């Protein structure tokens, strides 16, 4: 019987609500396929920061390294600046475990209405491959600074050939498994070093994938086209910052932040990958019991896919698809319903 050790970091706000609600469902779905899931919980995040002055302990990465994968709920707190949560937990894990692929599927499911007119379920189905370890979020050891004398702030971006090639190659490989269409997004008209370099790498790697049709878009045009013609996208590859921004557009046009899953993947198995819903801690709805757990369940599906537990992954994904496609099923308020988190999970349970 296959067994996987998973580190669970529920985090803050609605993170623990959706993670705790979904966990028994996930463990049950795995058990149905003969897979044992052993979870260990780590209560790190902003509460931990307010008590200890750091988001997680110094040996956090050593402890997490022991696991097959990590599941994260959400981190964020109204009293803690966002850059503290990002630099204190998310970025160290993504960079420390070389999780260079941030994979974010955007699917308009049956039963979900897009805010875009004229879009039917199935019309929108693309995946964003966001570079996750360097680019605009790179830390170039001390070069970043705020100049006290002149009120000047300097922030650099770093694009290495190794880092760019590997995310671009991962996106091309995904395109060969999908519709064979790849859109590379840059701002190479304005950023004449980093983004022109990115374009060159895309051109080089494309020679290895002659069957993939490549489109290049500037990020401003891409933001417009994701609204104007989202049905034409298949695989999108973008830098750390651009990928981050565009995936929030993707989440909105496919119905709700509460439906968007993601994986921070380290291909190769040397380190654990980390899976998390795209949404944040949502302080406006915390404690009300109405957080949508579906992004969490879909993120668990991505986790099992990565662990090559295809059946568990497919069962969890299909339970969500079936529920959304059923008019009479409970829905949380973000999807226009009046059900709570627990009801939605109980309904999924009955479908599994
Ligand atoms: P962050 O923690 O990233 O700073 P946030 O939680 O304020 O962000 P988002 O996660 O981007 O912001 O979510 C924006 C809004 O979308 C939330 O304030 C909430 O109203 C809604 N939302 C997000 N996730 C969910 C969810 N799972 N269920 C229901 N509503 C959600």
Distance (angstroms) between ligand 1 centre and the Cα of 14 equals: 9
In a domain, 19, yes or no: yes
Domain assignment present for residue 104? The answer is: no
| 69 and 143 housed in the same domain | no
What ipTM was reported for this prediction?
0.95
The model's pTM: 0.93
**Is the domain of 237 the same as that of 273?**
no
Distance, CA 279 to ligand 1 centroid (Å)?
A: 5
Residues 67 and 29 in one domain: yes
H/E element holding 266? none
CA of 169 from ligand 1 middle (Å) equals 32
Q: What is the pLDDT of residue 143?
A: 63
* Under 8 Å between Cβ of 303 and 287: no
Cα angle vertex 334, ends 224, 325, to 5°?
A: 90
On whether the CB atoms of residues 35 and 3 are closer than 8 A, the answer is yes
Looking at the domain assignment, is residue 113 inside a domain? no
Decide whether any atom of ligand 1 lies within 6 Å of the 226 Cβ. Answer: no
Q: Are residues 130 and 190 in the same domain?
A: yes
> In the prediction, which pLDDT does 146 show?
67
For ligand 1, whether the C-beta of 334 sits within 6 Å is yes
What is the model's pLDDT at position 1?
72
The reported pLDDT for the residue numbered 44 is 97
Residues 323 and 263 reside in one and the same domain: yes
Q: Is the CB of 295 under 6 A from ligand 1?
A: yes
pLDDT in tens, 3-31: 999 999 999 999 999 999 999 999 999 99
Both 82 and 150 in a single domain? no
Q: Is residue 90 part of a domain?
A: yes
CATH assignment at residue 64: 3.40.718.10
User: By the 8 A CB rule, do 8 and 23 touch?
Assistant: yes
- Residue ending a domain, choose from 228, 253, 278: 253
- What pLDDT, on the 0 to 100 scale, is given for residue 141? 64
Per residue of the chain (352 residues), what is the pLDDT tens digit?
799 999 999 999 999 999 999 999 999 999 999 999 999 999 999 999 999 999 999 999 999 999 999 999 999 999 999 889 989 999 999 999 999 999 999 999 999 988 998 888 889 999 999 999 999 988 776 666 666 666 788 888 999 999 999 999 999 999 999 999 999 999 999 888 899 999 999 999 999 999 999 999 999 999 999 999 999 999 999 999 999 999 999 999 998 888 999 999 999 889 999 999 999 999 999 999 999 999 999 999 999 999 999 999 999 999 999 999 999 999 999 999 999 999 999 999 999 9
Look at residue 120 in the predicted model and tell me its pLDDT.
Answer: 85
CA distance 349 to 331: 14
Cα of 325 vs centre of ligand 1, distance in Å, is 23
Tally of structural domains, the chain: 2
Query: Residue 178: which domain range?
Result: 125-253
Residue 114 lies in a domain: no
Q: Judge if the beta carbon of residue 340 lies within 6 A of ligand 1.
A: no
Residue at which a domain ends, from 214, 230, 253: 253
Alpha helices by DSSP H, listed for 89-178, are 91-96, 161-177
Task: Render pLDDT for 144-161 as a digit per residue (tens, 0 to 9).
Answer: 666 666 678 888 899 999
Burial (CB count <10 Å: 0-12, 13-18, 19+), residue 276: buried
- Residue 344 beta carbon below 6 angstroms from any ligand 1 atom: no
Give the residue from 254, 274, 276, 351 showing the smallest Cα distance to 92.
Answer: 274
Phi, psi of 302 (to 5 degrees): -65, -35
Q: Which pLDDT score, from 0 to 100, does residue 148 have?
A: 66
d(CA 132, CA 266): 10
pLDDT digit string, tens, across residues 227-270: 999 999 999 999 999 999 999 999 999 988 889 999 999 998 89
Residue 279 CB less than 6 A away from ligand 1: yes
């Amino acid at each position: 019987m296959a067994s996987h050790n998973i580190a669970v970091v529920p985090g803050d706000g609605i993170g623990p609500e959706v993670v705790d609600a979904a966990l028994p469902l996930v463990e049950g779905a795995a058990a149905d396929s003969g897979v044992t899931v052993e979870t260990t919980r780590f209560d790190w995040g902003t509460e931990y920061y307010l008590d200890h002055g750091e988001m997680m302990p110094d040996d956090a990465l050593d402890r997490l390294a022991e696991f097959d994968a990590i599941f994260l709920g959400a981190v964020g707190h109204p009293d803690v600046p966002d850059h503290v949560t990002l630099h204190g937990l998310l970025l160290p894990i993504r960079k420390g475990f070389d999780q260079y692929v941030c994979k974010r599927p955007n699917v308009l499911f049956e039963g979900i209405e897009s805010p875009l007119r004229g879009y039917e379920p199935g019309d929108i189905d693309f995946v964003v491959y966001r570079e996750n370890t360097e680019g605009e979020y790179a830390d170039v050891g001390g070069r970043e600074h705020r100049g006290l004398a002149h009120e000047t702030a300097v922030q650099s971006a770093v694009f290495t050939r190794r880092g760019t090639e590997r995310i671009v190659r991962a996106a091309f490989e995904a395109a060969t498994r999908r519709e064979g269409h790849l859109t590379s997004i840059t701002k190479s008209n304005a950023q004449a070093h980093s983004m022109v370099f990115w374009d060159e790498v895309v051109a080089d790697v494309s020679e290895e994938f002659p069957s993939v049709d490549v489109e290049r878009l500037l990020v401003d045009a891409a933001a417009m086209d994701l609204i104007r013609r989202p049905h034409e996208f298949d695989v999108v590859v973008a830098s750390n910052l651009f990928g981050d921004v565009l995936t929030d557009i993707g989440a909105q046009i496919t119905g709700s932040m509460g439906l968007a899953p993601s994986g921070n993947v380290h291909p190769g198995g040397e380190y654990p990958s980390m899976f998390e819903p795209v949404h944040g801690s949502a302080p406006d709805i915390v404690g009300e019991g109405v957080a949508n757990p579906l992004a969490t369940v879909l993120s668990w599906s991505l986790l099992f896919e990565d662990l090559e537990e295809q059946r568990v992954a497919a069962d969890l994904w299909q339970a969500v698809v079936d529920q959304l496609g059923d008019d009479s099923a409970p829905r949380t308020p973000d999807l226009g319903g009046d059900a709570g988190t627990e009801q939605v999970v109980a309904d999924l349970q009955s479908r599994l």
